[in-house]
Amino acid sequence: MSYNLFDHYRVMEKQHIVLSFKGEISNKTLVSLAEMLKKIFSRADNRQDVTKKIFAIFVELAQNIYLYSAKKVTVDNKGVGTGIIIIERNEGFYRVKSGNLIMNPAIGPLLEKINHINQLDKIGLKKFYNKQLKTPREPGKTGGGVGLIVIARKSGHPIEVKVNPIDEKQTFIELSTKITEPK
């Protein structure tokens, strides 16, 4: 199958992709992407509160890839996760999507956590957030275990999940959520 850049361009145009990256999310890459995001959103007539929400959700999703992607490369002697992350603009809302490979046994617990988060209302989310913040970090774990709750709280919408099984070992998992632009 030959890859047609024009097709890629047209899809991105059609979907109004404002930012897109595929590759390893190293520390430096994340900083560059975050700075780019700020620049893109400072150009247009954007509300600062919306930009802040998109920024926070983008950082959490990107760090999820960095920490939890099953496909890692070595950067500065560290294992860095690879994946894809995009922001698309729709009528009245933005959507941030991230995708990466995940080992099959990790899917169940992740889906369970997301389902739980999606069932909570605003107050429930805040309670769960406070509880998780006070739960001691598992030894050797960098993530705080609160990233997904932060995403749900900032977004105010459910976290959507799509799983694309690859083989008996791995699955491509896609997480996304939307950020409404107030009128």
Partner 1 sequence: MENLTFEPTENSLRIDFDATKGMLEMEGTSYPEDAPEFFNPLEAWLKDYISKIGGSVTLNLKIGYLNSSSIKCLLDFVQKLEEYHAGGGEVDINWYYEEDDEDIQEMGEDLAEDMNLPVKLIIY
Stretch that binds partner 1, among 48-56, 96-104, 155-163, 173-181 (CB under 8 A): 48-56
78-90 and 93-103: which strand pairing?
antiparallel
How far apart CA 118 and CA 120 sit, in angstroms, is: 6
How far apart CA 20 and CA 24 sit, in angstroms, is: 13
Residue type, 181: E
Where in 107-146 is the site for partner 1 (CB under 8 A)?
130, 133-134, 137, 142-144, 146
The HSE-up count of residue 8 (CA atoms within 13 Å, CB side) is: 5
Phi then psi for residue 163, to 5 deg, are -110, 130
Stretch that binds partner 1, among 25-33, 88-96, 103-111, 171-179 (CB under 8 A): 25-33
**Which of 171, 164, 12 has its CA nearest to residue 102?**
171
Residue type, 115: N
Closer by beta carbon to partner 1, 55 or else 93: 55
Residue 146 beta carbon to partner 1: minimum distance, rounded to whole angstroms: 4
Give the helix/strand (H/E) hosting 28.
helix 27-43
State both tokens at 166.
């690859």
Closer by beta carbon to partner 1, 87 or else 171: 87
State both tokens at 117.
């988060």
Binding mask 60-99 for partner 1 (x = CB under 8 A): x--x--x-----------x---------------------
Residue 142 beta carbon to partner 1: minimum distance, rounded to whole angstroms: 5
Closer by beta carbon to partner 1, 43 or else 134: 134
Interaction of residue 36 with partner 1, rule CB under 8 A: no
Q: Which residues bind partner 1 (CB under 8 A)?
A: 26-27, 30-31, 34-35, 48-49, 52, 55-56, 59-60, 63, 66, 78, 130, 133-134, 137, 142-144, 146-147, 149-150
